[in-house]
């Protein structure tokens, strides 16, 4: 036991003397989680927080124009200005000019008699569809469908997502109006066909489909996805894996200055030597986790970011952290085994961790990645870790869901340890 204690003391001293390594392991991840959460929160909440300047010229002044204007005014994403309130005698060319000048990002022009054309088209279509007496000349309808076009002028700087949202709102409002008009015309046609009193048949009371959003998950208290719930576990994993630089560097340094050879000549087994290193860096990983979580809980709300919550799942999160730490330590061991200098280990370790984190969904969530990167992310140990955190924090799953990812991390760690130990034993012989 005294040998192990002495080794622990030595390893902690080596760690504390590495001031640059400590900065990399603690301050850099804390700065990254704060900066990246702020940046991504702005992107994730852009639809809710931005107000797009929009001007609408309703020349229809009937059901279609009134409905579309009301729908857009109810949507907090758009700052709607009615054309007549901006300028008297607004024309379509003037509206287009205002958008071109950048005074409004979006301009909507609803032509005169839009509702009337929709109503006429519906009435003609229904009349043609109903059977007529054989001697009735009206069976050969000469009515043609009148095209109805709502024109939207868009500033080139407007994001594509906002254009899609706007088009969706306008289509939804237009379809609702068309639906109501068609039902009115069908009701009127049925009254005429059955010789009933006008208004005795009313199909407008038919029940519309109601959409209900339900967050899937076993835990009804599970969080919604936001920048905090992604970045706190994501950058914790990044910090954990970034210890490979310090860990592999210390192993190489002891090998180069002869400390490792002297330790192996004393009654100290290679197993105790590795166990000491593992205990020290596992402690470092746990400290990183608690510091970043503390930032998410107490600092984020102060600077206007969403508060991070583990929803009472600290124990499950610690299991993932320990498994990820073992995987990172094993990765550091295998780097130190094949690197001959500290510079080689630092360069390869840093590049490897950045690549694994990038494809693993740390920098950007995997659902935002192209398909080939999304598929490639499955080979990254950091992806196994972040998916395990998602199972716990978002999906409300238990051990049966996240433990397979932890098993992958432990398998990765075991493979790395095995290769490193076998190589070292061969070298010691």
pLDDT of residue 238: 93
- Average pLDDT (83-103) is 88
Based on its alpha-carbon atoms, the radius of gyration of the chain, rounded to whole angstroms, reads 33
> How far is residue 402's CA from residue 343's CA, in Å, rounded to a whole number?
36
> How far is residue 176's CA from residue 44's CA, in Å, rounded to a whole number?
30
pTM: 0.68
What confidence tier does 187 reach under pLDDT thresholds 50, 70, 90?
Answer: confident
What confidence tier does 220 reach under pLDDT thresholds 50, 70, 90?
Answer: very low
Q: Which of 19-23, 109-113, 403-407, 410-414 has the lowest mean pLDDT?
A: 19-23
Residue 237 has pLDDT above 50, yes or no: yes
> How far is residue 324's CA from residue 235's CA, in Å, rounded to a whole number?
12
384 versus 27: the higher-pLDDT residue is 384
Residue 408 has pLDDT above 90, yes or no: yes
> How far is residue 121's CA from residue 146's CA, in Å, rounded to a whole number?
7
pLDDT of residue 49: 53
pLDDT of residue 43: 58
Range with the largest mean pLDDT of 102-111, 256-265, 339-348, 404-413: 404-413
Query: Is the separation of the CB atoms in 3 and 272 below 8 Å?
Result: yes
For residue 79, give the H/E element and its range: strand 78-82
pLDDT of residue 204: 59
Tens of pLDDT, residue by residue over 198-207, are 666 666 565 5
Question: CA angle, corner 58, sides to 55 and 63, nearest 5?
Answer: 130
Domain ranges of the chain: 2-45+229-428, 51-205
pLDDT of residue 285: 92
Q: Provide the pairing of β-strand 106-110 with 52-58.
A: parallel
CATH number of this structure's domain 51-205:
3.40.1710
Q: Is 410 helix (H, G, I), strand (E, B) or coil?
A: helix
Residue 249 has pLDDT above 90, yes or no: no
Residue 139 has pLDDT above 50, yes or no: no
- Average pLDDT (312-323) is 92
49 versus 338: the higher-pLDDT residue is 338
């Amino acid at each position: 036991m005294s040998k192990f204690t002495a080794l622990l003391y030595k390893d902690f001293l080596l760690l504390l003397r590495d001031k640059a390594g400590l900065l990399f392991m603690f301050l850099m991840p804390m700065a990254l989680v704060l900066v990246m959460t702020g940046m991504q929160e702005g992107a994730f909440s852009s639809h809710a927080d931005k107000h797009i300047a929009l001007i609408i010229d309703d020349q229809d002044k009937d059901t279609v124009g009134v409905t579309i204007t009301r729908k857009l005014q109810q949507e907090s994403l758009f700052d709607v200005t009615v054309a007549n309130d901006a300028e008297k005698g607004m024309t379509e060319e003037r509206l287009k000019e205002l958008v071109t000048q950048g005074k409004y990002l979006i301009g909507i022009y609803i032509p005169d008699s839009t509702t009337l054309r929709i109503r006429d088209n519906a009435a003609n279509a229904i009349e043609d569809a109903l059977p007529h007496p054989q001697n009735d000349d009206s069976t050969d309808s000469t009515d043609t469908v009148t095209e109805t076009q709502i024109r939207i002028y868009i500033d080139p700087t407007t994001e594509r997502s906002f254009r899609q949202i706007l088009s969706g709102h306008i289509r939804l409002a237009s379809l609702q109006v068309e639906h109501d008009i068609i039902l009115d015309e069908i009701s009127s046609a049925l009254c005429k066909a059955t010789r009933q009193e006008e208004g005795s048949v009313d199909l407008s009371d038919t029940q519309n489909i109601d959409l209900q959003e339900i967050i899937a998950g076993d835990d009804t208290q599970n969080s919604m996805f936001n920048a905090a719930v992604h970045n706190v576990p994501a950058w914790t994993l990044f910090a954990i894996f970034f210890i490979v630089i310090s860990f592999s560097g210390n192993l190489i340094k002891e090998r180069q200055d002869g400390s490792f050879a002297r330790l192996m000549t004393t009654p100290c087994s290679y197993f105790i030597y590795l166990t000491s290193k593992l205990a020290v860096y596992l402690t470092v990983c746990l400290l990183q986790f608690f510091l970043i979580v503390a930032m998410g809980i107490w600092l984020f709300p102060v600077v206007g970011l969403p508060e991070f919550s583990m929803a009472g799942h600290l124990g499950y999160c610690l299991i993932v952290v320990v498994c990820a730490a073992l995987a990172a330590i094993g990765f550091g061991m295998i780097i130190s085994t094949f690197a001959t200098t500290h510079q080689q280990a630092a360069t390869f370790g840093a590049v490897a961790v950045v690549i694994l984190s990038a494809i693993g969904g740390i920098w950007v969530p995997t659902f935002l990645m192209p398909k080939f990167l999304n598929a490639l992310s499955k080979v990254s140990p950091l992806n196994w870790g972040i998916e395990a955190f998602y199972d716990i924090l978002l999906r409300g799953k238990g051990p049966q869901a996240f433990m397979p990812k932890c098993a992958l991390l432990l398998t990765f760690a075991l493979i790395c340890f095995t290769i490193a130990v076998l190589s070292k034993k061969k070298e010691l012989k």
